[in-house]
Amino acid sequence: MYIVGAFIAEKSFNEHEYFSLDDVMAITGESREELLQRIEQYRQELTEAGENPDDYFKPVEPQRAAVYYFPNGLH
């Protein structure tokens, strides 16, 4: 899985905004396979340009999530 980095207002705030593959798929309408293929292409282009592709695309391991169900709500 990748977290896709978009540099938003970096000069003003020194902040980075990150999006998951699911976020980018929802924005662009691309399939997971299309997006992964595009990421690999961009990573190669960045490497060839002497840049670190991990500054733009960060591979991350999925973490386990907990889902809680409260059938009677919270009191």
What DSSP line would sit under 18-69, residue for residue?
EEEHHHHHHHH---HHHHHHHHHHHHHHHHHTT--GGGTEEE----------
Q: What is the pLDDT of residue 57?
A: 82
Q: What is the pLDDT of residue 65?
A: 66
Indicate the pTM of the whole model. 0.61
In a domain, 32, yes or no: yes
Maximum Cα interatomic distance, the chain, rounded to a whole number of Å? 57
In a domain, 68, yes or no: no
In a domain, 36, yes or no: yes
In a domain, 22, yes or no: yes
Q: What is the pLDDT of residue 50?
A: 96
In a domain, 51, yes or no: yes
Q: State the residue range of the domain holding 21.
A: 2-59
Q: What is the pLDDT of residue 28?
A: 86
In a domain, 19, yes or no: yes
Query: Over the range 26-42, which residues count as b (16 or more CB within 10 Å of their CB) and which as e?
Result: eeeeeeeeebeeebeee
10-residue mean pLDDT profile of the chain (75 residues): values are: 49 64 86 89 92 82 69 67
Q: What is the pLDDT of residue 13?
A: 57
In a domain, 72, yes or no: no
Q: How many domains, the chain? A: 1
Q: What single-letter amino acid sits at 68?
A: Y
